[in-house]
């Protein structure tokens, strides 16, 4: 029987004295500024320096690590390989995950069409920069290699042209910069968002940038506008050529470039065809905006819009309604959709590890300094290599004097380790030369071989002299850079993709064109509620809904493009447009005008006036029997003012404010039952809005004008006994006179 083990006794836990844990449990106060400096600032700098912003070679660290990995994989001259293989190899330098690495590759690929000069020669679906929804295929399906232009990025990278640093696990080395032979920083677009700052570098035409760089090396005062016409985007489009804006971008690195999509009109299909769009937008964003504007009734000319993008490239088709002017419609589309957009330049670039906003001039000068150092280091590298070779050949030349002696020294030396010292003594050469001689094969110890090897000594000396002169001459180095830039233009230069349009091509925006043109009826209640009703809704309505005790005081048939003027008891005139109000139904209460137009406290509406061209007159009738006639164009303003003060005189109480489009017959009635009818042609119009008017009705003591109204010709004829031929007039007794509004033929 197995022996049962005794249960173990609970061991006592050894208590660590508090003295062993320094400061345990204590709370130390610290300034938030110190915390930010210790914790947040390192993070912010890491984002800016190690991730978000490009350096003077034109690349962010993620770009550089990917391209260098592909270069080391032999993909510059070899065939394509699966993108997944490249992503896996890149993780040796970039440990941020395969998804981020593949996204970086997609943006650099030719298939994505983001870059003006793609660095990755791709095969498969890499998505499209101009589409938000057209995503790329997974990395296991696509293939890639380096594009031919990458030969210019890695030119002489093995000749100590740039510094190398260990990767994150110290297993291999990677370059801090790429020795690009052209200013790639300005050739391909680059956008980055850091902490508290951002970078947005647009692309320029390769040939133009290289020519500008050459010109600046020859003449630092060169005007870049002569050779650099403006940004050149991979998606084409048209750029507004504005020298003032371009000069600002070239000098400061900041400015806004206006872009718009070129279009074609298909007369047969009555459609607008768009094949290029601004680099700042996408096909989906444009189509969604067009649909939204059509639904809002602001683009009634468009009947249908669709994305016809296919293997031939981007295509947006906009079908128009019959009778629509395609050019005017396109101008509206430019104003109302991203078919015209703005690229905001912010050339924030890392220089020696610090972010700096620079203009084109300063960027190119910094690149020239960078490239000058690369060429100098390459020259020094070649100089050292040739000097080493010359040194060896000079040792070999001395052996030429007595080959037999060299053979004898080697043969008669008993210890192998003594061969080199004996050769050094025998021929007065140093250890490196002696080591080289000792390694020569026996078959090469003949006069012919040695003469062949040593005949280049004079040529080497000449080359070394030239290299020394070049290394010490900035002029010669710049000449080499110019030669390389010309070679780049010859190999990779291409015509501009982005064209130009000019200020003279811009059609001034006519606000009226953007307002739908249709008829409607507006209603105003006595307490200030406003309704805008379409004819079909009005026909179906039974009665107008109003608050208890309220009633409709004005009803006017108007056009949606008309302007409305609201005259108030405080002698203010509030202006707005019929289009500013939404269509409603008779069963709705409507908009409360004092709140909608922000009336002052205590203001009430005297009248509402509708106009399109500000023709006609306003008649202001006062209790003292005076009437002021003011042209309506006195209330017209060039600026879009919403409120005009001093719309009429406040020296006496106003009875009525009436709009007439032409002279009419008007009747005034007083509190002592008198009435007078007169032709408004008897009133002379006054330029001043605050005129007190002219006397029309002579009143007895304590009598005031109580009512004023415009009469129809028929009504005026029926009441002709009250008509006067001159003013002022006392009028006739009207004790039993009915309300003229109730009279009928």
Q: Which two tokens stand for residue 411?
A: 């043969």
Residue 644 to residue 653: CA distance in whole angstroms: 19
- Tell me how far the alpha carbon of residue 463 is from its chain's centroid: 52
- Residue 574 phi, psi dihedral angles, 5° rounding: -100, 130
Q: Which two tokens stand for residue 647?
A: 């719309």
CA distances from 614 to 451, 514, 617, 642, 659 (A): 105, 20, 9, 15, 11
| 141 part of the active site | yes
CA torsion through residues 524, 528, 531, 532, sign? positive
CA distances from 694 to 626, 657, 698, 728 (A): 5, 15, 11, 8
3-class DSSP assignment, residue 640: coil
Using a 10 angstrom Cβ sphere, with 0-12 exposed, 13-18 middle and 19 or more buried, the burial of residue 114 is buried
> Containing H/E element for 191?
strand 190-193
Instruction: With CA atoms as reference, report the closest residue to 216 among 117, 359, 347, 349.
Output: 359
The CA angle 99-102-106, to the nearest 5 degrees, is: 135
Print burial letters for 1-13: b (CB count within 10 Å at least 16), e (below 16): eeeeeeeeeeeee
> Which residue among the candidates 141, 168, 304, 502 is catalytic per the annotation?
141
User: Which conformational region is residue 140 in: left (phi greater than 0), alpha (psi within -120 to 50 degrees), or beta?
Assistant: alpha
Residue 676 to residue 174: CA distance in whole angstroms: 101
238-240 and 499-501 beta bridge pairing: parallel
Instruction: With CA atoms as reference, report the closest residue to 468 among 376, 561, 547.
Output: 376
Residue 238 to residue 241: CA distance in whole angstroms: 9
Residue 734 to residue 745: CA distance in whole angstroms: 20
Q: 669 near 719, Cβ under 8 Å?
A: no
Print burial letters for 269-280: b (CB count within 10 Å at least 16), e (below 16): ebbbebbbbbbb
3-class DSSP assignment, residue 575: strand
Residues belonging to the active site: 141
């Amino acid at each position: 029987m197995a022996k049962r083990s005794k249960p173990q006794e609970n061991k006592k836990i050894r208590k660590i004295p508090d003295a062993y844990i320094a400061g345990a449990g204590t709370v130390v106060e610290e300034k938030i500024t110190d915390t930010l400096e210790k914790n947040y600032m390192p993070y912010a700098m890491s984002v800016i320096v190690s991730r978000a912003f490009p350096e003077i070679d034109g690349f962010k660290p993620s770009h550089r690590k990917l391209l260098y990995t592909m270069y080391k994989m032999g993909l510059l001259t070899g065939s394509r390989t699966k993108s997944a293989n490249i992503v896996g190899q890149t993780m040796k330098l970039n440990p941020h995950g395969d998804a981020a690495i593949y996204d970086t590759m997609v943006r650099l690929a030719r298939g994505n069409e983001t870059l003006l000069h793609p660095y990755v020669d791709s095969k498969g679906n890499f998505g499209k920069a101009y589409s938000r929804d057209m995503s790329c295929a997974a990395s296991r399906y696509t293939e890639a290699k380096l594009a031919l232009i990458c030969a210019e990025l890695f030119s002489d990278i093995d000749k100590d042209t740039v510094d190398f640093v260990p990767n994150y696990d110290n297993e291999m080395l990677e370059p801090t910069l790429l020795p690009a032979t052209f200013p790639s920083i300005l050739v391909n677009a680059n956008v980055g968002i850091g902490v508290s700052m951002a970078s947005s570098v647009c692309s320029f035409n390769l040939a133009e940038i290289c020519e500008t760089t050459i010109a600046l090396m020859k003449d630092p005062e060169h005007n870049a506008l002569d050779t650099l016409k403006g940004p050149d985007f991979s998606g084409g489009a048209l750029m507004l050529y504005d020298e003032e804006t371009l000069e600002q971008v070239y000098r400061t690195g900041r400015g806004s470039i206006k872009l718009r999509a070129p279009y074609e009109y298909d007369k047969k299909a009555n459609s607008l065809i768009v094949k290029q769009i601004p680099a700042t937008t996408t096909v989906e964003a444009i189509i969604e905006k067009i649909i939204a504007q059509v639904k809002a009734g602001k683009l009634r000319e468009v009947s249908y819009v669709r994305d016809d993008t296919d293997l031939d490239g981007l295509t947006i088709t906009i079908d128009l309604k019959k009778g629509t002017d395609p050019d005017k419609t396109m101008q509206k589309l430019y104003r109302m959709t991203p078919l015209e957009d703005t690229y905001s330049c912010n050339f924030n670039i890392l220089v020696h590890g610090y972010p700096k906003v620079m203009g084109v001039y300063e960027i190119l000068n910094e690149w020239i300094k960078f490239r000058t150092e690369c060429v100098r280091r390459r020259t020094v590298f070649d100089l050292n290599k040739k000097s080493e070779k010359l040194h060896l050949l000079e040792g070999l030349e001395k052996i030429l004097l007595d080959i037999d002696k060299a053979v004898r020294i080697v043969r008669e030396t008993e210890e192998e380790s003594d061969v080199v010292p004996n050769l050094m003594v025998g021929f007065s050469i140093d250890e490196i030369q002696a080591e080289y001689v000792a390694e020569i094969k026996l078959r090469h110890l003949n006069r012919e071989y040695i003469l062949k090897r040593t005949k280049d000594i004079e040529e080497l000396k000449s080359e070394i002299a030239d290299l020394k002169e070049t290394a010490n001459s900035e002029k010669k180095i710049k000449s080499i850079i110019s030669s390389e830039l010309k070679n780049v233009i010859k190999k990779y230069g291409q015509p501009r993709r982005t064209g130009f349009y000019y200020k003279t091509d811009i059609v001034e925006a006519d606000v009226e064109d953007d307002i739908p043109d249709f008829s409607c009826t507006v209603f105003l209640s006595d307490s200030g509620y406003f309704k805008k009703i379409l004819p079909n809704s009005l026909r179906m309505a039974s009665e107008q809904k109003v608050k208890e005790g309220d009633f409709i005081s004005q009803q006017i048939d108007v056009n949606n493009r008309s302007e409305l003027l609201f005259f108030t008891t405080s002698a203010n005139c509030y202006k707005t447009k019929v289009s500013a109000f939404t269509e409603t139904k008779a069963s709705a209460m409507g908009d409360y005008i004092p709140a909608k137009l922000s009336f002052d406290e205590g203001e009430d509406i005297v009248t509402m006036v509708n106009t399109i061209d500000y023709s006609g007159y306003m008649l202001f009738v006062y209790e003292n029997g005076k009437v002021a006639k003011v042209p309506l164009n006195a209330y017209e303003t060039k600026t879009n003012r919403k409120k005009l003060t001093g719309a009429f005189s406040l020296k006496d109480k106003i009875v009525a404010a009436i709009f007439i489009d032409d002279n009419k017959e008007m009747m005034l009635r007083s509190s002592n039952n008198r009435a007078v009818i007169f032709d408004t042609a008897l009133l002379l119009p006054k330029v001043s809005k605050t005129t007190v008017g002219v006397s029309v009705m002579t009143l007895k003591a304590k009598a005031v004008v109580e009512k004023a109204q415009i009469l129809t010709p028929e009504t005026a004829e029926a009441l002709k006994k009250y008509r006067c031929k001159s003013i002022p007039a006392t009028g006739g007794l009207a004790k039993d006179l009915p309300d003229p509004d109730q009279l009928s033929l």
